[in-house]
Amino acid sequence: MLFILILVLIAALAVWLRFRSKRMAAGRHAKLEGKVATERTLFTLQIGDVVQYQKRDWILETIYRYQQDQFEWVEYLLRDNSDAAWLVVVEDDWLEVSWLTPVPEDQLRIELPPPRYIDYKGTYYSLREKGEAKYATEGRANNQAGSCLFYDYQTAEGLKLSLEVYDSKNEGGLDINAGRKVDSRDLSLLPGDGRSVYANISR
In tens, the pLDDT along 124-173 reads: 999 999 999 999 999 977 899 999 999 999 999 999 999 999 875 545 57
56 vs 29, which has greater pLDDT? 56
Q: Write down the pTM of the prediction.
A: 0.77
Mean pLDDT of 9-20: 48
Nearest to 126 by CA among 142, 114, 141: 114
Sequence-separated (6 or more) residues with CB below 8 Å from residue 162? 86, 88, 100, 150, 151, 152, 153, 175, 176, 177, 178
C-alpha 63/C-alpha 40 separation (Å) is 15
Which H helix or E strand runs over 113?
none
Contact 182, 169 (CB under 8 A): no
- Exposed, middle or buried by CB within 10 Å (0-12, 13-18, 19+), for 75? buried
Cα–Cα distance between 67 and 129 in angstroms, integer? Answer: 15
* Whole-number pLDDT of residue 202: 47
Beta bridge partner(s), residue 160: 154, 179
Region of 74 please: left (phi>0), alpha (psi -120 to 50) or beta: beta
Q: How confident is the model at residue 118 (pLDDT cuts 50, 70, 90)?
A: very high
Going 201 to 86 to 66 to 187, the CA torsion angle's sign is negative
pLDDT at residue 170, rounded to an integer? 46
Q: Which of 12, 53, 24 is nearest to 188 (CA)?
A: 53
